[in-house]
Homo-oligomer: A and B are copies of this chain.
Amino acid sequence: MSEDKLAALEAKLEAMDKRLQRREDELDVRKLQFLYGYLIDKCMYDQVIELFTDDCEVRFFGGVWKGKEGARRLYCERFRKRFTHDNNGPVDGFLLDHPQLQDIVDIEPDGVTAKMRARSTMQAGRHKDYTDEAAGLGVRQWWEGGLYENTYKKGADGKWRIHVLNYFPHWHADFDKGWAYTDPEYTPFIRTTYPSDPAGPDELIEDHWLWPTHKLLPFHMKHPITGEEMVAQRWEGDRKRDEERAARNKAEAAAAVTG
């Protein structure tokens, strides 16, 4: 009888271990992503890159940078050179705060993959006394709201790393004018891949949009009560605009080829 009880205890302990492990993983992934935010705020790009897996992907503004070398190209070649005179740390007069908010971390059944939806509401800009007009760095300040749908992997060393960093900006707002007056033609999407652009992505993402266009960034999880996929309807008025925009882009692309 004691043997049975012992076996039951072992089984229960095993089940609790799994439950605890899952929550430890959720909390550790959360810490990892939050640290990413603090490092990005301070332009500490060397330390950022060490948070990624070797086979990582960084999806940003219409481009995909692949592997740790790709990540280095984006953070060190693109951001660091443009933002901080290639200094691995914050510079006076340059703000790029990325508060990390509203994280939902889910551990996959394999125990070594995690998905996270989170958001950031950014404050960014360059102070009037720290411009460098020759380098194209004028005074500027803006708000930005975006979502993350990231993937993480746990390594053989038991440490979580970022596998796919998918930051999707939803809206930009000039500090003075706000989101109601954002220029709809403002499309800073990446258009040139590496190596034509030495700091460019390995691939382009076609399905990209920016405010005032407004769509759902798909959820990694199902609805917790109904178990259904959480899909958004697209209003017919917006669908019509989508089609017109697509036709216009196609015509422009054709003109560019023949031009």
Q: Is the CB of B85 within 8 A of A34?
A: no
In whole angstroms, how far apart are the Cα atoms of A35 and B105 in the complex? 11
Q: A88 — nearest CB in chain B belongs to which residue?
A: B233
Q: How many residues of A contact B (CB 8 A)?
A: 95
Interface 9-residue window, one of A57-65, A116-124, A189-197, A198-206: A116-124
Chain A 32-73, CB within 8 Å of chain B: the 1/0 string? 101101110011100100110000000000000000000000
Chain A 100-119, CB within 8 Å of chain B: the 1/0 string? 11111000000000000101
Task: Tell me the residues in window 166-222 of chain A with beta carbons closer than 8 Å to chain B beta carbons.
Answer: 170-171, 173, 175-176, 178-182, 184, 211-216, 219
Q: Is the CB of A91 within 8 A of B125?
A: no
Check: A92 CB closer than 8 A to any chain B CB: yes
In whole angstroms, how far apart are the Cα atoms of A37 and B126 in the complex? 29
Choose among B23, B173, B180 the residue that contacts A23 (Cβ–Cβ < 8 A): B23
Q: Is the CB of B90 within 8 A of A180?
A: no
Check: A252 CB closer than 8 A to any chain B CB: no
Check: A253 CB closer than 8 A to any chain B CB: no
Q: A16-B16, A88-B233, A104-B34 are in contact. Are A95 and B6 (CB under 8 A)?
A: no
In whole angstroms, how far apart are the Cα atoms of A173 and B121 in the complex? 16
Check: A224 CB closer than 8 A to any chain B CB: yes
Q: A117-B38, A121-B99, A224-B32 are in contact. Are A47 and B180 (CB under 8 A)?
A: no
Q: Is the CB of A178 within 8 A of B141?
A: yes
Name the 4 nearest CB pairs between A and B, nearest first: A89-B232, A87-B235, A141-B180, A127-B212
| 15 residue pairs A–B, Cβ–Cβ below 8 Å | A2-B2, A16-B16, A34-B103, A38-B102, A88-B232, A90-B216, A92-B214, A93-B214, A95-B211, A123-B173, A127-B184, A139-B180, A175-B178, A175-B179, A176-B178
